[in-house]
Amino acid sequence: MIVKDSDFMNEYIRVWDDGASQDAPFITLGVEAILKEYYGDLLDAPPPFPVDKGTDVLDLGCGWGRVLKPVLDREANAVGLDISEKMLDLTRRHLEKNGHRSNVLRGDGTRLPFADNSFDMVYSLLVLQHLSKENGREVFREVQRVLRPGGVAHIRVPGRFAPENMLFSFLQFVSIHIFRLKDPIRMRFYRIGEIKKICRELFGECEITAHEFRPPWNLHTRWTWHYILVPKFLHRPLRKISDKIEKLANNGAGFLKHFGVVLMVHVKK
């Protein structure tokens, strides 16, 4: 990773190691791990993209193996890479408990320890949001390098103009610049235009889909504000509204994509 100094790097890794020891579902998935009426049980969900049997797959930033497990269930040859050894310990345990041989290694997504053209698919979910934009571009470049020609990648980033993300971005700004709180894993948000620019330079094809058109209730804290802001009985109806907007956004009404909380970048080399 391109960082100012080694202190930052140590602190960055320590946050993930501590998160793995203390509350892995929350540090990896945030409020999506808690609000089951709204999100469903994401801790045991299928991968949010198709997986072909026998293909070589890389999970870049695999966390505790949440997505790696269902990918292996579909008989892909999947490798998990993460910068946190503690996260990898959890992945090993999770995979072995579910009858899979674990194939994981410690590494940095901006400097992938693989040869060119090694994978048919790379995915990276909820990782780029914690990296500087400069490091984010490095990840895209590395993904392109390790993909085989015709290989695909799915990369999840948070959208810049979703009301929830704009509110969070404001609160984060206040906490870092006014209260001087340090947050090595602070969030970065992406505009569709900037993703397209990066992808145009690197990939043959690029499609962006937008997901989650929810109210601004995710303040990234486990202490359930969201129940106060949005009573539980409204979670299911809100989910239905979000799904309807998502369908419109990804089927013709493209301007709505700008307001998605989640952007999925699908590219082909």
Q: What residues line the site for ligand SAM (CB under 6 A)? A: 1, 16, 28-29, 61-63, 66-67, 81-84, 87, 108-110, 125-127, 130
**Separation between Cα atoms, residue 71 and residue 77, nearest integer Å:** 9
Tracing tokens 């994978």 back to the chain, one arrives at 119
Q: Please say which residue, 152 or 262, places its beta carbon nearer to ligand SAM.
A: 262
Give the shortest CB-17-to-ligand SAM separation in angstroms: 8
Element (H, E) at 176: none
Give the shortest CB-155-to-ligand SAM separation in angstroms: 11
Extract the tokens encoding 149.
Answer: 């020609």
Q: Please say which residue, 156 or 269, places its beta carbon nearer to ligand SAM.
A: 156
Tracing tokens 């693989």 back to the chain, one arrives at 114
**DSSP 8-state symbol, 161:** T
Give the shortest CB-142-to-ligand SAM separation in angstroms: 10
Give the shortest CB-1-to-ligand SAM separation in angstroms: 5
Q: Please say which residue, 114 or 256, places its beta carbon nearer to ligand SAM.
A: 114
Any alpha helices (H) in the chain, and if so which ranges?
Answer: 6-29, 36-39, 68-73, 85-97, 133-146, 163-173, 192-202, 225-229, 235-250
Q: Please say which residue, 61 or 159, places its beta carbon nearer to ligand SAM.
A: 61
* CB-count burial class (<10 Å; 0-12, 13-18, 19+) for 143: buried
Give the shortest CB-42-to-ligand SAM separation in angstroms: 9
Q: Please say which residue, 27 or 162, places its beta carbon nearer to ligand SAM.
A: 27
